[in-house]
Amino acid sequence: MKKVLLTAIPMAVAVCSVNAQADGLPANPTPGKCYVKCITPDEFKEVEETYVASPAYKKLTVVPATFRTVEERVMVKEPSKKFIYVPAVYEAVQVDYVSKESYKTLSVTPASFGTDSKSFESYPATSGWEYKADPNCKSPNPNDCIVACFREYPAKYSSVQVKTLVRDASVNEVTVPEQKSSYRKMVVKSPARVEEVEVPAEYATIRKVVVDRPARVEEITVPAETRSYKKTVLVKKGGMTVWEEMDCKLLDVNVLPIYYELNSAVITEPSKKIIDENLLDLLIKKPNVRVEIMSHTDSRGNDSYNMALSQQRAQAVVNYLVSKGISRSRLVARGYGETRLKNNCGNGVECSEEQHQVNRRTEFRIIR
């Protein structure tokens, strides 16, 4: 990268000394001119070299297996035995039975009675002594005048009506004969049995896919690929100090009167013409100097947006100069947004369009 030293020489007398000549300054400088001390850049050239972009290698391709279809007879059901059940055979027979057994009926003849009279002793015969007082007794003691007499009394009898049994009760028995009936009965004529039958095996023809040719790998050698590339090599080392005569005003900030569309960083055709006349011609004539491109906005709008927009506009000028053949290393793009207003039209301050226009500017200056 070039290193540039800016030195202002207002008078020719100041640079005509021995020291000035020793430093490489011109012996007879032009009065009112400035000289910029520049370090000559390294010189480079582009060369083309070849390299192996892809080494040789083996490419393996899998060839899949091939198949064929074959037929095969297979048993689908093994042989077995089948058992058939033969049910019993019946015949009907008539069976007699006693539907009601014989039995006896009983009837009772009640007893018969007659009447009679019967005499019985209602009071038995009795005897005994009877005592009584003598009514003519003169003794004051009544016991002295007791008379005892022995008496007998005959028994007393009564008669009552009684029932006499003429014929006692009896049972009369009558036998009722049995009743017969019949029913239909199924009897085994031929008993049930099981018959064994042989069931033969069953076969079918199937198709199956078998490997005809197994899978394999085929090997192909892919050759190496080479490519060429361009690289920059140092031809001549820079660093020699040279002095470029420069108009002194170019060392200060100079307005580049170019305009952009609203909210755009695209350089218009009229602006390109201004850049050609003011900057491109200078950079071509002075191949050792570096230039700073500075872009600014007014205070209207978001601060961060204005900063980004100003950077885009400064970069657009750099890109345009590069497209014209100027080395990008000689150009510096800086956007300052609304940080370097030339008047008091900051945020919230009412200003005319003309006042805002003063702040919307693109500038350049020679830098060291």
Instruction: Summarize pLDDT for 205-222 with one digit per residue, the tens.
Output: 999 999 989 989 888 988
Q: Give the C-alpha distances (Å, rounded to integers) separating 301 from 14, 305, 337, 346.
A: 50, 7, 10, 11
Residue stretches of the chain with pLDDT short of 50:
1-22
Question: Mean pLDDT across the chain, nearest whole number?
Answer: 81
Which run of H or of E encompasses 332?
A: strand 331-335
Q: Which residues contact 57 (CB under 8 A, 6 or more apart)?
A: 221, 222
Q: Which pLDDT value is given to residue 10?
A: 32
3-state DSSP of 207-221: EEEEEEECCEEEEEE
* Residue (of 358, 360, 316, 351) closest to 334 by Cα position: 316
Q: Which pLDDT value is given to residue 316?
A: 93
Q: Which fold has domain 253-368?
A: 60s Ribosomal Protein L30; Chain: A; (3.30.1330)
Q: Which pLDDT value is given to residue 247?
A: 61
Q: Yes or no: say if 245 and 35 are a contact pair by the CB < 8 Å rule.
A: yes
Using CA atoms, how far apart are residues 4 and 290, in angstroms rounded to an integer? Answer: 7
Locate the domains of the chain by residue range.
Answer: 1-54+229-250, 103-175, 253-368
Q: Which two tokens stand for residue 287?
A: 């191949």
